[in-house]
């Protein structure tokens, strides 16, 4: 039996019920199979696809009505080969061990791609922070940390925020951690600046996404964002800050969305107003209150119907299906760069690459957030606060370096457009080399 098939078979014996985790690992194996020596790397691969440690616990907390509520809490510590475990905490009703194992595996590859000394992890809870009072949020965070705190440390595991976990909630969790284990600023990133957070951490993923796209446009098309029309799905943190950076670089954001629909204006959207209405927790159709002539569709998927030069899918997983990819190609898209985690399906990404579209997967394209998280860790250790200009320059340097590394790897394997394969190979080789060197 071929060794990759043997690895898959053994993997399924353990994780057959965890379909997303299995799919994520198998997609990786299928991509890199012909470019790695499976016979020599067999035990390396076996080690890298398994999490080193999984923490699972119950969280009992009291709501404002005095009722005790039970949620599940998790932390998947996937790989510590390169440095402390690093990855976000996600609070959302859909969170389960399958999702977190998948995300933690991807996080280990992502962090390896950055070249920074960071391992990979992911965690969270099926707790829904929506419509909760500040007191309820604080109580939940404290109870969550009672179970998780023993597994954290600035040189062991350093969480950050993810979906449903704002810097306010990070602040609550850090406050709980301090009461439980003492002051240790570097144990969380994404903290409020007043508690040791880094300038530009909220902007980092969106800015980094645009910086790596800028490098790709220059290398492949000898162009940039000037006068380019850009589609950005989503209107959350990543999407908003990517939109600001696109405009700063001379581009035009013509469409944005949320789960309730999409807005479009061929002459460009007022990004600051989108930011304003989302800050007020309004749905995106509220944009029409000020700009009533704007096109609106209640179907968020309609965003892929518009003609544009560049797409930055930044909303959610699997939001771009094959049918959407075909529309984008038909309308002349030249580059698609993932701001969300795996927003293109496997079929969609394969199609756009085959059609000559520049494509960079999320594990490389959205690494700006974890990069600035690392800067925050360094600042905490040195007891410093870097300026916006310093952080922005370092972020751009990291993203440019990521692109250069995956571009060189794509050239090495004689697959110039396969930045998806190259990204996995760059991350894999760094992790493999660490294992082989002991």
Just list the catalytic residues.
Answer: 122
| 3-state SS, one letter per residue, for 202-248 | CCHHHHHHHHHHHHHHHHHHCCCCCCCEEEEECCCHHHHHHHHHHHH
Cα distance between residue 154 and residue 167, in whole Å: 18
Q: Cα dihedral sign for 48, 85, 88, 349?
A: negative
Q: Give the pair of three-digit tokens for residue 51.
A: 């999490």
Angle 192-205-318 from CA coordinates, rounded to 5°: 125
Cβ contacts of 108 within 8 Å, gap of 6 or more? 48, 78, 79, 119, 120, 427, 431
| E strands in 63-187 | 68-79, 85-91, 120-125, 157-161
Sheet of strand 53-62: strand arrangement: 53-62, 68-79, 120-125, 85-91, 157-161
320: which DSSP letter?
B
- Cβ atoms of 315 and 331 within 8 Å: the answer is no
Name the nearest CA neighbour of 54 among 20, 29, 79: 79
51: which DSSP letter?
-
Q: How many Cα neighbours within 13 Å face the side chain of 262?
A: 21
């Amino acid at each position: 039996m071929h060794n990759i098939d043997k690895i898959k078979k053994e993997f399924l014996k353990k994780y057959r019920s965890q379909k997303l985790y299995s799919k994520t690992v198998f997609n990786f194996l299928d991509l890199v199979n012909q470019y790695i020596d499976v016979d020599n790397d067999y035990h390396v691969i076996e080690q890298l696809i398994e999490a080193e440690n999984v923490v699972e616990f119950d969280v009992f907390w009291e709501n404002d009505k005095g009722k005790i509520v039970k949620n599940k809490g998790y932390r998947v510590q996937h790989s510590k080969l390169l440095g402390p475990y690093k990855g976000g905490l996600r609070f959302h009703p859909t969170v389960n061990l399958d999702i977190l194992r998948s995300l933690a595996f991807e996080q280990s590859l992502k962090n390896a791609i950055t070249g920074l000394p960071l391992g990979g992890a992911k965690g969270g809870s099926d707790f829904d922070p929506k419509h909760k009072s500040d007191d309820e949020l604080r109580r939940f965070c404290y109870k969550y940390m009672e179970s998780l705190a023993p597994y954290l440390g600035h040189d062991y595991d350093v969480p950050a925020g993810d979906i449903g976990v704002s810097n306010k909630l990070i602040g609550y969790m850090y406050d709980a951690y301090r009461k439980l284990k003492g002051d240790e600023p570097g144990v969380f990133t994404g903290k409020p600046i007043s508690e040791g957070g880094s300038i530009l951490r909220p902007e980092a993923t969106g800015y980094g996404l645009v910086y790596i796209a800028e490098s790709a446009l220059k290398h492949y098309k000898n162009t940039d964002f000037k006068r380019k029309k850009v589609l950005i799905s989503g209107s959350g943190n990543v999407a908003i800050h990517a939109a600001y950076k696109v405009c700063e670089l001379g581009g035009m954001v013509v469409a944005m969305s949320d789960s309730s629909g999409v807005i479009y204006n061929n002459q460009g959207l007022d990004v600051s107003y989108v930011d304003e209405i989302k800050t007020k927790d309004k749905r995106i159709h509220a944009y029409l209150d000020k700009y009533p002539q704007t096109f609106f569709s209640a179907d968020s998927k309609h965003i892929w119907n518009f003609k544009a030069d560049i797409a930055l899918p930044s909303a959610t997983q699997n939001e771009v299906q094959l049918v959407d990819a075909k529309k984008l190609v038909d309308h002349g898209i030249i580059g698609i760069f993932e701001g969300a985690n795996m927003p293109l399906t496997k079929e969609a990404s394969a199609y756009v690459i085959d059609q000559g579209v520049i494509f960079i997967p999320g594990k490389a394209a959205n690494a700006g957030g974890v990069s600035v998280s690392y800067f925050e860790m360094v600042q905490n250790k040195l007891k410093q606060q870097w300026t916006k200009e310093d952080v922005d320059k370092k972020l751009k340097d990291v993203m440019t370096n990521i692109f250069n590394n995956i571009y060189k790897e794509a050239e090495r394997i004689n697959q110039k457009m396969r930045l998806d394969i190259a990204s996995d190979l760059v991350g894999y080789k760094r992790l493999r080399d660490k294992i082989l060197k002991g």
